[in-house]
Amino acid sequence: MSFRKPKNRKEICYPFIYESALTCDYEVHTDELCSLLGMVLAQMPEGFDDVVADLETLHPKIYHLNGSVRGKNGIFEEDLEWLHERYDHYNKLSAGRVTRFVLPRGPVAVMALHQCRTGSKKTVRLLHRLDESGVKFEETLPRFANLLANFFFVLTVYIKMKLDVEEIDYISINY
């Protein structure tokens, strides 16, 4: 079979879907990350108005991250400053709760946040690959994506702490 771009626009899910460049893969991936964050918002338990407000602020920033490789930059130093502040806030509230590597477990919202965390790592990897291929973008993008992965993790710790859900240590036999 010869895989060709359809002539009917209704049969094309994304204008750049048939590109061979990694840019499209990055955009499809960050679209998935934005959808996963929407799933987190849909599953958040009662009593987490602070987290919901922060995630609602963060949600459109994922699409800004998405469009910042092909289009103009949408992630700025002030976005990084805000995310650093929110990370520090939740990290301070849950200080000392996690001191080792833990298994990703918990209620649905926590598990969706773990999916966002791993998706953020994939975003960093795709940005690295794009950079290696010669695509130019602002340095705020990988910094934001790295911090995003860490922010999602600290939210899982905070939420599980407030819900009194035990963290399960992972003891590696590899290291």
Task: Answer for the pair 119, 29: CB distance below 8 angstroms, yes or no.
Answer: yes
SS3 102: strand
Cα 131 from chain centroid (whole Å): 19
- The pLDDT, as a whole number, for residue 100 is 81
User: pLDDT at position 137, please?
Assistant: 97
What is the reported pLDDT for 17?
64
Cα 161–chain centre separation: 21
89-95 LR contacts (CB < 8 Å, sep 24+): 90/51, 90/151, 90/154, 90/155, 90/157, 90/158, 91/154, 93/158, 93/161, 94/154, 94/157, 94/158, 94/161
Residue whose entry in the numeric block shows the structure tokens 């918002």: 41
What sign does the CA torsion over 123, 140, 88, 40 have?
A: negative
List, in order of start, the domains of the chain with CATH numbers.
Answer: 14-67+103-162 (1.20.1200.10)
Virtual torsion, Cα 66, 67, 73, 78, nearest 10 deg: -40
- One digit per residue, the tens of pLDDT, for the chain of length 175 reads 567 776 777 766 566 666 778 998 999 999 999 999 999 999 999 999 999 999 999 999 999 999 999 999 999 999 999 999 999 999 999 988 877 888 899 999 999 999 999 999 999 999 999 999 999 999 999 999 999 999 999 999 999 999 999 988 898 898 7
Show the CA angle centred on residue 64, arms to residues 139 and 151, nearest 5°: 70
